[in-house]
Amino acid sequence: MSSLKYTPAVCIVGDNYQIIYRTSSDGISYVEAGGKKYYETNAGFIPAFRRIHKIVIPQTELNEAGEYSLHFEECIDKKPYFPVKGPEEIYNFKFKSMNKKDDIKAFFVSDIHGKYDMAKGACLHFGDELDLFIAAGDIIDSSEKLEHIDAYLGFLSDVTHGEIPVISIRGNHDTRGYCAEDFVDYIGTDGAVNTYYTFSFGPIGGVALDVGEDKWDDHPEYGGFNIFEHFREAETEFIQKVKPLSDDYKYKIAICHMPIPTDNPPLDSPFRIEEEKLRIWTRELDRIGVSCLFAGHTHKIGVFEPNGENDRFPHDYPVVVAAEINTKKEERRFIGSALTFRNGRIYGEFINHEDQVVGKYEI
């Protein structure tokens, strides 16, 4: 009987891959690639009482190997002497290494809100040509139950099969519910809990940001459980320390669930938050040198050029709200973005749940 619930998500953070997978029982685990073993560690221990696993491998190592295997042994009894574990289970996966210098094909989604079957009609647009999958928050509708965030991994499994790298970030709905604190274990993080980070993927370099919730911490909806204002303060310090992206990257992008510099639709109280901090973030993305910010959140696709009527803060890069959802019966639809990075340009197509092109843009 298999203990592996879904094929892994191979998430990009910095210059590393984080292989994230879920088992049905507690146990010890490692990943092997290119003849090397990679472990989760905790002060000399292999964590034994864990069902969600996150193991870091340098991109260069996995790209060179082109395959990896998961090794898992159930923890039967971790008694003080001669602890007992179950038989070893081994799961083998091919991996689509990033060896391209150009013509990268990525698909961007956000705001699926648990409507996985509808969304997959768009997400599978590139078929076997897909090089990168970007999941930009609110893929689930909330973190109310563990089965909801398990379904998040299940969705990534259906799209990537443990073979295609993922950039995964958090949306505001992911922060809600009994299991919201667990959700960060299911996505790429810098360290244990920082849900913002830089990333590198072949000719693409960038920064992933996380606004957290979309209202002030003292909003009664949150019941006094949030300190996202403090979280955003630390993130502001992070982004101010990010160095300008090297010209070695042909493509320089930012990803955030919320389209920070835009005001479409117009934000009213209680959603107009953290003006000073988010203005700094907008300015810092200019300094870092991104050519575009890809976002979601508003449930309405659009391309917002600098100095437009929808600007919330001045910015020198276009903002693409790259996904849309409508669950009303008569208007039911999902739209994501098929992105082709080629010849120094980013060619985008808005793809609906019936795999139809409903709009195009170029950056």
pLDDT tens per residue across span 200-226? 999 999 999 999 988 888 999 999 999
- pLDDT classification of 331: cutoffs 50, 70, 90: confident
Cα–Cα distance, 145 to 260 (Å, whole number): 29
The identity of residue 267, as a single letter, is L
- pLDDT classification of 328: cutoffs 50, 70, 90: confident
Mean pLDDT, residues 93-111 = 95
Those residues with Cβ within 8 angstroms of residue 207's Cβ, 6 or more apart along the chain or in another chain: 196, 197, 198, 199, 239, 242, 254, 255, 285, 288, 290
Percent of the chain surpassing pLDDT 70: 98
How big is the CA angle at 326 (ends 322 and 328), to the nearest 5 degrees? 175
Pick the CATH number of 104-362 from 1.10.286.10, 3.40.50.720, 3.60.21.10, 3.40.50.10580: 3.60.21.10
The per-residue pLDDT for range 176-202, each reduced to its tens digit, is 999 999 999 999 999 888 999 999 999
Q: Do domains 9-94 and 104-362 have the same CATH topology?
A: no
Whether 184 contacts 152, CB under 8 Å: no
Cα–Cα distance, 141 to 46 (Å, whole number): 33
Cα–Cα distance, 82 to 215 (Å, whole number): 52
Asked if CATH classification 3.30.530.20 holds for the domain at 9-94, the reply, yes or no, is: no
| Domain range list for the chain | 9-94, 104-362
The per-residue pLDDT for range 232-250, each reduced to its tens digit, is 999 999 999 999 999 999 9
- pLDDT classification of 269: cutoffs 50, 70, 90: low
* Alpha helix positions (H), the chain: 59-65, 116-123, 146-160, 180-183, 228-241, 275-288
Task: Choose among 262, 284, 282, 286: nearest CA to 272.
Answer: 262
Whole-model pTM over 0.85? yes
